[in-house]
């Protein structure tokens, strides 16, 4: 495992703060929220030793720090993915850094395809559970028993109390099971039918590895998918990243209110 000390020092020096309470990870097209959330001068990921920088359009690559409704928050604008050729350790680096900086809660956001037609397109939905279909697990390898358990219980990855809190902020929110795949291709219509049979309501290319590492390190996790498109085969429309990112941006007001409300009530 990489040494987090230089990264922690960079954040502490840039912010004058060495402890935070919550970390928000902002996915595709959702990065613009960070500035309004946390304000202040962001720290580019390139200025944080070990922090991987995303190659994907719509993923800004900067860390904002600030106080949101009384909760000291790290807002990571942009993440890296397995499909960029990144390792499990790189994909989960932000979560490990957040834990090292004292965070007790993480909010993982993503853009997702909607498999269950009852989840509204262009709106956020809560993640109630996940299917890890990435083909990998970030906790393989020797275990540091001081950091977390060898065999981690995943009965409640996405914290029920945080979901209730989110629903009190935005009572219209629906929830569903998120299937996390490696990507980078979108799914075939046959794969979407398979995922539906397996119990998935949402599909995307992130979040599941981060959620597992967050639980391992003892953080409570809130997962929010912005449904940017009906999954492949559910409409006649072909899928495009530009449209996914644009739909994410359109949903940003509602996501902004939700995140601000949740952080204020923590
Ligand atoms: N599939 C996978 N990932 C996605 C999708 C999708 O339909 N939309 C946004 N991210």
- In the prediction, which pLDDT does 37 show? 58
pLDDT value of position 33: 65
Share of the chain above pLDDT 70, in %: 94
Do strands 202-204 and 105-114 pair parallel, antiparallel, or not at all (unpaired)?
A: antiparallel
- Return the sign of the alpha-carbon dihedral for residues 190, 225, 255, 40: negative
Q: Of all atoms in ligand 1, which is nearest to the CA of residue 204?
A: 3
pLDDT tens per residue, range 51-67:
999 877 766 789 999 88
- pLDDT value at residue 89: 96
Write the pLDDT tens digit of every residue in 233-252.
898 888 888 877 788 778 88
Q: Report the C-alpha gap between 76 and 244 in whole angstroms.
A: 19
Q: Which CATH number fits domain 5-265: 3.40.50.12500, 3.30.70.260, 3.30.70.1290, 3.40.50.1580?
A: 3.40.50.1580
What pLDDT is recorded for position 244? 78
CA of 33 to the centre of ligand 1 (A): 20
Domain edges within the chain: 5-265
- Answer yes or no: is the C-beta of 248 below 6 A from any ligand 1 atom: no
The model carries a pTM of: 0.95
Residue 206 is among the residues annotated as catalytic for this protein: yes
User: From the CB of residue 153, how many other CB atoms can be counted at a distance below 10 Å?
Assistant: 8
How sure is the predictor about 32, in pLDDT bands with cuts at 50, 70 and 90?
low
Reading the block at residue 155, the tokens are 């009965």
66 lines ligand 1 (CB under 6 A): no
Average pLDDT over residues 96-119: 97
Cβ neighbours of 185 (radius 10 Å): 12
The pLDDT of residue 36 is above 70: no
Provide Rg for the chain, Cα atoms. Answer: 17
Q: What is the pLDDT of residue 1?
A: 61
Mean pLDDT of 1-24: 92
Instruction: Tell whether the model's pLDDT for residue 38 goes beyond 80.
Output: no
- Most informative mutation of 79, 121, 133, 187 for ligand 1 (most atoms within 8 A of CB): 187
Is 35 considered catalytic here? no
Is 28 noted as a catalytic residue in this protein? yes
- Helix residue ranges per DSSP H, the chain: 5-15, 33-38, 88-91, 93-100, 160-169, 189-197, 208-216, 241-250, 252-265
Tell me: pLDDT of 12 over 80: yes
Dig out the tokens for 252 from the structure: 């940003």
pLDDT digits (tens, 9 = 90+) for 121-179: 989 999 999 999 999 999 999 999 999 999 999 999 999 999 999 999 999 999 999 99
pLDDT tens figures, 84-105: 999 999 999 999 999 999 999 9
* Beta carbon of 229 within 6 Å of any ligand 1 atom: yes
Average pLDDT value for the chain: 92
Question: Catalytic: which of 34, 38, 54, 84?
Answer: 84
Question: Ligand 1: which of 27, 81, 113, 192 to mutate, most ligand atoms within 8 Å of CB?
Answer: 113
For the chain, give me the number of helices (H) and strands (E)? 9, 9
pLDDT tens, position by position, 163-187: 999 999 999 999 999 999 999 999 9
pLDDT at 64: 92
Q: Categorize the per-residue pLDDT at 35 as very low, low, confident or very high, splitting at 50, 70 and 90.
A: low
Amino acid 54: pLDDT: 84
- Return the structure tokens found at 43: 């720290």
Asked if 4 contacts 100 with a C-beta cutoff of 8 angstroms, the reply is yes
Q: Is residue 34 scored above 70 in pLDDT?
A: yes
Q: What is the DSSP letter of 200?
A: -
Q: Which two tokens stand for residue 23?
A: 């970390």
CA 145 distance to own-chain centroid: 25
């Amino acid at each position: 495992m990489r040494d987090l000390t230089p990264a922690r020092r960079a954040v502490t020096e840039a912010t004058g703060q060495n402890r935070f309470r919550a970390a928000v990870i902002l996915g595709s097209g959702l990065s613009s929220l960070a500035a309004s959330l946390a304000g202040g001068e962001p720290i580019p990921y390139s200025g944080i030793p070990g922090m991987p920088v995303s190659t994907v359009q719509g993923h800004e690559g900067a860390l904002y720090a600030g106080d949101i409704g009384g909760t000291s928050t790290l807002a990571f604008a942009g993440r890296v993915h397995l499909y960029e050729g990144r390792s499990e350790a790189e994909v989960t680096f932000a979560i490990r850094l957040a834990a090292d900086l004292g965070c007790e809660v993480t909010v993982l956001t993503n853009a997702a395809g909607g498999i269950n037609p009852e989840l509204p397109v262009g709106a956020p939905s809560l993640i109630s559970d996940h299917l890890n279909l990435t083909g990998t697990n970030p906790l393989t390898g020797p275990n540091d028993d001081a950091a977390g358990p060898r065999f981690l219980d995943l009965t409640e990855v996405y914290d029920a109390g945080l979901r209730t809190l989110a629903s009190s902020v935005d009572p219209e929110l629906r929830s569903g099971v998120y299937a996390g795949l490696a990507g980078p291709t979108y799914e075939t219509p046959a794969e979407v039918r398979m995922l539906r049979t397996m119990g998935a309501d949402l599909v995307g290319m992130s979040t599941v590895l981060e959620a597992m590492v967050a639980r391992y390190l003892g953080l409570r996790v809130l997962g929010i998918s912005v449904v940017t498109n009906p999954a492949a085969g559910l409409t006649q429309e072909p899928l495009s990243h530009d449209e996914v990112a644009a739909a994410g941006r359109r949903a940003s007001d509602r996501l902004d209110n939700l995140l601000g409300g949740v952080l204020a009530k923590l």
